[in-house]
A and B are shown apart, each in its own frame.
Chain A
Amino acid sequence: MFRLCVATVFLLGSILVAQEKPQPPAPHPYPPQSKEPPGPPASELDNKHREAKVPSLNVPEQDARAAVNSFITWASASDVRQREEVRRMIAASRENKPVSAALCEEAFQAREKDHSRAVVVLSLLGEMRSETGGECLGRFLHLPFPEKGTVIDGEIVEQTALGTLQAKAVDGLAYLHSRSGDEAVLWAVSKHPSRIVRAEAIEAYLWNHNYSAEARSVLESRVRENERIFLDRVHRDPAEPAESFNQKLAEYLKEHPEAVAPQPTHAKQKRRPQDDSDQPPSR
């Protein structure tokens, strides 16, 4: 009887202690499983990727569609070190109208089924800087903007999807450095229904005109009154050193005190943090 009482007290005590500080559950007895055998290590896949043959775009007209599809798939998977190679290859196809036409066709098709592929295709078309590509990007920019759709966090996701792709088209139009390209970008700055596209158009126009005073003056006459702050937006250029970026940010906040956030407020009493994280396997 005494043993039973002790055991009961111990059990109840354990439950109460466990309540005071909930413990992370132990690993699940039924871990996830794969129907496939384990693959090769990442280092082997890296080598395979590096050794993959680069698809040629220099093909007969009737093979252009297939060649472009292979090229897009390769470029999409290309790594950081292959950036210049992609640029060189797409620039070399500038005058190849069947290639730019096939890229254009794929941009419109991918838009319907795979946003990430559409981003890649529009990037390639923009980098190409061809007349046919520019005409295609212009048509893409003027695709009808949806007015209804699925609302997430107060945004219509179909608008965000198309807006982000049209913003990518704007990048290509600005990169043409042509009169017609600039006109399309400036139209987008003031007239496009999406803020995503207007904001990208402002940044792309400034970047492609080396942030000149003249370019800023042109934009000042086009930009919407409540979006003038986008003219001064802080740009995180990947090649820019921290000192320069930090100075630019400080100047921006001095010039735009309204961009300084107000002090945060507490909801309730503060609690004490602790750290006990674990490590993944080495790659």
Chain B
Amino acid sequence: MATKRVALAVGLLLVSSTIVAAAVCDQTRTSQAERDLWNTHGCWQAFFLWQYQAYDMRQGEWTGRGWEDACNQNMEYPKHWNASYLLTYGLADTWQFSFHGTIDYRGTAERWDNNYHDDIYHTPSDRTDIFGAWVYHFFGSNEVQTACPLYDPNVAPNANPGSRGGDFMHEGWHGWMDKYNWNNGSCAGHRCGPTGNCTVSNCDYFYFHGIGAYAFGAMWENDGTANRFHSPNQVQVEYLCDVSDFPQWWVPASVRQSAQVDANQRASQRFINGPGYFCGSPRPW
């Protein structure tokens, strides 16, 4: 059996090494929120040279997507690390107000086997019918895919750094579900919808909790009951709320507003026992 596994692994390795991904998503444009965030850090090489390792991003998958042009903000790899920058530095982490801390969100997004998931690596996808996907691999790290609608502003409103980081949370949380062996349903890891107050096809429950219920660094915890638990869409909404409402002072208005818009539409549509929290103020500015 072990010999078969080794042979299969070697075979897959050889096949995958011959594949060079070719991007088909539009990589000639960028959104206002993308540019605004980018202008807060510019071409920070030390960061992207850390980021590609922290997210286990591999040349084969990102060639033609900005791997060789990592400060061209029109391309997918720079957009990916732009979102990571927001996730890594952009939250105020005020325990009196924030749902969770940077330590939780980083733990969910980054590659290393930790309390939040087993090892993961990040890849791009040219699909336009998903935002992202979490893919289980029998050998090695599991995979977090992020797709066209998170990069191409022609395709979806989610092509902004806040929503992209929100998807890192969502897919990463499927990894949490897998690590602790929770069953979240049979429709792409969600309950099939529409059902209850969920109007889309992939639905979750919202496990409501107060502010301060989780110390920073404890979002992964659960007590085996609905009292202390999270679903993928919920973690995504809470991250987007924290970006919108409790960011670092330098996070641009366009990034905060896009995060709020995404949080509230998601909270209104994706929860069987919804709606989730309404984040932020209805005051226009």
Contact = CB atoms under 8 A, between A and B. Distances in A.
B204 to A, nearest CB: 9
B25 interface: no
Contacts, number: 354
B281 A262 contact: no
B189 to A, nearest CB: 10
A281 B46 contact: yes
B140 A22 contact: yes
A246 B157 contact: no
Interface in A233-278: 233-238, 241-242, 245-246, 249-250, 252-253, 258-271, 273-278
B278 A267 contact: no
The range of chain B's interface size is 35 or more
Given A16-B2, A24-B119, A262 B205 contact: yes
A80 interface: yes
A267 B43 contact: no
A60 interface: no
A28 B197 CA distance: 45
A3 interface: no
A151 B202 CA distance: 12
Interface in B1-28: 2, 5-6, 9
A83 B132 CA distance: 33
A195 B255 CA distance: 23
A236 to B, nearest CB: 5
Interface string A212-240: 00000000000000100110011111100
B201 A154 contact: yes
Nearest to A205: B282
Interface in B68-97: 68-72, 77, 88-89, 96-97
A261 B179 contact: no
Nearest to A268: B181
Interface in A9-42: 15-16, 19, 22, 24-25, 27-28, 30-42
B43 A38 contact: yes
Given A42-B41, A208-B282, 6 more contacts: A19-B6, A78-B253, A237-B280, A237-B281, A261-B207, A276-B114
Interface of B: 2, 5-6, 9, 31-34, 36, 39-54, 56-59, 62, 66-72, 77, 88-89, 96-97, 106-107, 110-115, 119, 128-131, 139-141, 149, 153-157, 159-160, 179-184, 188, 193-194, 197, 199-202, 205-208, 210-212, 220, 222, 224-226, 229, 241, 245-258, 261-262, 264-265, 268-269, 273-275, 277-285
25 contacts: A24-B56, A34-B70, A77-B36, A80-B249, A80-B251, A83-B253, A120-B257, A124-B284, A150-B128, A151-B129, A152-B130, A155-B200, A200-B282, A203-B282, A207-B282, A234-B277, A235-B277, A238-B245, A238-B246, A242-B210, A259-B208, A261-B208, A267-B183, A271-B179, A278-B54
